[in-house]
Chains A and B, each alone.
Chain A
Amino acid sequence: MESLFADLIQIFAATVRLSVPLIFTALAGLYAERSGIFDIGLEGKMLFSAFSAASVATVTGSPWLGLFAAILTGVLLSLVHGFASITQRGNQIISGVAINFIASGLTILLGNAWFGQGGRTPQLANSARFTEITLPFAAEIAPIPFLGPLYSGLISGQNILVYLAFLAVPFTWWVLYRTRFGLRVRAVGENPGAVDTAGISVTWLRYRALICCGILAGFAGTYLSVAQSASFIREMSAGKGYIALAALVFAKWKPLNVLLTCLLFGFLDAASIRLQGTIIPGMGEVPVQLIQALPYILTVVLLAGFIGKAIPPKAGGVPYVKER
């Protein structure tokens, strides 16, 4: 019993760690898509931010400066996306895919040129990383059954970005539903004409939403290279941007749902790692690939209309053009 519980705590801890980049990225996508700009480029923003964070942390020795650089990178890439899709009224999918390609290529190129380790950045010292924070009384509570492992194994001992990710969810909810900016963002994703005729600039509003998107993507990237690992590795985002996008759809573009779907997808990931090589009697090895594919399968099932209906923001993906 005790050991099963300890096992579970371990899986949950892994779930939390694996969910964090998804949460940041899905929330990033939420700001963009709620404002009517589809963002396939989340993957690229996360990757490039991870690279910037690791590079700057390597050079300066400060994780905070790394975070700052990552945010800057995320915002700049968002502005590129905004220029292409808002100002130039280009195709948002193509612009996003282009950002992914640029990120994938440039990070390796620059990494090689600067650090000469085949696209990696040098191993970061712990002082240049976001490391685990032990919450007060963790040691004292640890021996208490159930509560102890829960508190000291799961709640305590995470790095600061984990706590920030979980705070970002209610914060985003608050922004979206309780502030003027949020009201306008939700409106512009549904009917930009309503926003325009209310005397609000559609262009500027969408740019601001994309800036929010870039900031959160910066957090996601930083988490990958400066908190979860200790260096940037080529292609280290490994499709998480797409999974986050799937989580966003699965969450029906709602912040609190985003938390749940990201945890679910994180859990599937944790379980697949945990079950790697496990033999189930009579069935053979657990098909890990299947578990890894589950987020995508679930999303497709959702989109096919089997689990309620996911209605995207109505004006999503369409440039706002007044004069034909």
Chain B
Amino acid sequence: MNAPTAASTPAIELVGIDKRFGPVHANKNINLSVAKGSIHGIIGENGAGKSTLMSILYGFYHADSGQILVDGKEIRITDSQTAIQAGIGMVHQHFMLVENFSVLENVMLGVEGGPLLKRGVAAVRAELGRIEREYGLEVDPDALIEDLPVGKQQRVEILKALYRGAEVLILDEPTGVLTPAEADHLFRMLAQLKAQGKTVILITHKLREIMAITDTVSVMRRGEMVATRKTSETTMAELAELMVGRRVLLRVEKDEAKPGPVILSVENLTVKDARGVTMVDNVSFQVRAGEIVGIAGVAGNGQSELLEAIAGIRKPASGRILLNGEPVERLDPAKLRKKGLAHVPEDRHHMGLVLAFEEYENAILGYQDDPKYLKGPFLDIDAIRKDAVARIEDYDIRPADPRLKTANFSGGNQQKIVLAREIERDPACLLVGQPTRGVDIGAIEFIHKRLVALRDQGKAILLVSVELDEIRSLSDRILVMFAGTIVGEPAPHAGEQEIGLMMAGIGREAAE
């Protein structure tokens, strides 16, 4: 782009950054120049290598080759300490907080100001107060992280970076965990930082955010930096195309639902977590054949527990769950599967798959008792592999190798493995949690189409997602959950803002 003159030395310049994780080429010869005092967006599908690139800049990973220039001077960033000293701060996609520490302890970790804590605590407390007032980032310095909602935890991460004197602030997918209102607040704060001459690098896969706040945007695809544009000179459609390398549908095409009889009925369901805290509070709703019911809500408002209770993983404290009119709240997941209730869990790494297994083993997980996979008391490996290969073709799972370790598939392909396994059993009712979390755009489109097709076959689908766009484009009916209860059922074509307010619990006498 523009040649670095004395007046416009970029805050950050990356030259020829290359990084491999074993067989995965995460960053291929990346060049990037970030102007001082700007908000620079980096956009790309999941797995494009955005987090890797930023983590290299922050000293968390080491590049195999390439140079990093800060304010025009090359520095060797060997660890995060060097990056912090160079004025770089980063809010990681997965927060780097000690959960049983207070906010104060988290902020001072690494900058304690001497071998004893006493003096540091006082200094941090005073400085935190100042930063908090300046940016409107109130958090109780003595609160434990584990007691804070995710939105607040993110503030702590930002405070950490600012306390360390960051001049360049990297935020990796910061809005995934926020309500629309919280995201707005974050963006106002970023604008304020920019006004003070600080530089912000914002990573996201949400096009709308890029258009709303950035000055410049760089697009990554499969480990490569494919384009950099001035935000004012590009469009969402162009960026989307650059991201995936072809035109994509941003809407899901579907006809009106033709709801049939009630398949799943939840009546006055209450679920408590291990500590005895009520996570789902007296919730009732129904899902009919041939419709997708979407549950919207900010993560942590009881959706996960609701889903797990229906799937038989968590025992409800009270209430009833009826599948085709039959009470099933006491059944375990295996029995529920036999009754036609399939479940695509929210967390595919921990619940959906055994990552150390080969693909074909995961393809029958939970259905290994099916006679068609058995030869006497033994598994019929040939039959299983043949089935696996058929599904790999049908669902376009790549690489098409049933003997590959599941951990080596990308997020989107792992999700397809789970989805194929559950859908192909022809369930009467499908529970889907976060179907496209960590999944690339191409696969999102595919997964959404499959879900709509399943609906059109007359199946009942209960969808839980924290992606409001996903809920809005897939669901025939939307229920909004907040603090364990269903706070409303907005009209199918309700605006984002209306749903967003419900998700924040506004319109309900709910104190924070």
A residues near B (Cβ < 8 Å) are 177-184, 186-187, 190-191, 193-201, 314, 322-324
Contacts and interface: CB of A to CB of B under 8 A. Distances in A.
B61 interface: yes
B101 A197 contact: no
30 contacts: A177-B117, A178-B116, A178-B117, A180-B116, A183-B108, A183-B109, A183-B112, A184-B110, A186-B98, A186-B101, A187-B98, A187-B101, A190-B99, A191-B98, A193-B94, A194-B97, A194-B98, A194-B106, A194-B109, A195-B109, A195-B110, A196-B79, A196-B96, A197-B96, A199-B80, A199-B82, A200-B109, A200-B110, A314-B100, A322-B60
A179 B84 CA distance: 22
Contacts of A191: 96-99
A197 B106 CA distance: 11
A201 B21 contact: no
B194 to A, nearest CB: 24
B22 interface: yes
Nearest to A190: B98
Which secondary structure dominates where chain A touches chain B? helix
A201 B79 contact: yes
Interface of B: 21-22, 58-61, 79-84, 90, 92, 94, 96-101, 105-106, 108-112, 114-118, 120, 160, 407
Nearest to B114: A180
A183 B58 CA distance: 23
A252 B243 CA distance: 50
Contacts of B115: 179-181
B489 to A, nearest CB: 39
Given A183-B108, A198-B110, 12 more contacts: A179-B115, A181-B115, A187-B101, A191-B99, A193-B94, A194-B109, A196-B80, A198-B96, A199-B84, A200-B81, A314-B99, A324-B22
Contacts of A200: 81, 109-110
Contacts of B22: 323-324
B51 to A, nearest CB: 12
Contacts of B108: 183
Considering residues B82, B100, B106, which has the most beta carbons from chain A within 10 angstroms of its beta carbon? B100
Contacts of A195: 109-110
Given A179-B116, A201-B79, A196 B109 contact: no
Given A178-B117, A199-B79, A194 B112 contact: no
A208 B115 CA distance: 15
A180 B60 contact: no
B101 A193 contact: no
Considering residues B82, B90, B112, which has the most beta carbons from chain A within 10 angstroms of its beta carbon? B112
Contacts of A201: 79
A249 B112 CA distance: 29
B80 A197 contact: yes
A198 B79 contact: no
A197 B94 CA distance: 12
Contacts of B61: 322-323
Nearest to A195: B109
Contacts of A183: 105, 108-109, 112, 117
A193 B90 CA distance: 13
A181 B110 CA distance: 10
A184 B99 contact: no
Contact of B81 (A199, A322, A324): A199
B166 to A, nearest CB: 12
Given A187-B101, A197-B90, A324 B21 contact: yes
Contacts of A186: 98, 101
A190 B96 contact: no
A191 to B, nearest CB: 5
Contacts of A193: 92, 94, 96
A322 B94 CA distance: 13
Nearest to B109: A198
Contacts of B84: 199
A184 B117 CA distance: 11
A184 B407 CA distance: 32
Give me the 3 closest cross-chain CB pairs, A-B, nearest first: A198-B110, A199-B81, A180-B112
A24 to B, nearest CB: 24
Contacts of B80: 196-199
Considering residues A178, A191, A322, A324, which has the most beta carbons from chain B within 10 angstroms of its beta carbon? A191
Nearest to A191: B98
A185 to B, nearest CB: 11
Nearest to A180: B112
B92 A197 contact: yes
A184 B109 contact: yes
A222 to B, nearest CB: 28
Contacts of A184: 109-110
A194 B153 CA distance: 13
A183 B108 CA distance: 9
B451 to A, nearest CB: 30
A289 B47 CA distance: 59
Nearest to B407: A324
A88 B114 CA distance: 31
Contacts of B116: 178-180
A197 B112 CA distance: 15
Contact of B117 (A180, A187, A194, A199): A180
A323 B101 contact: no
A62 to B, nearest CB: 32
B117 A179 contact: yes
Contacts of B118: 178
Contacts of A194: 96-98, 106, 109
Contacts of A322: 60-61
Contacts of A182: 117
A198 B79 CA distance: 9
A180 B58 CA distance: 23
A197 B98 contact: no
Contacts of A177: 117
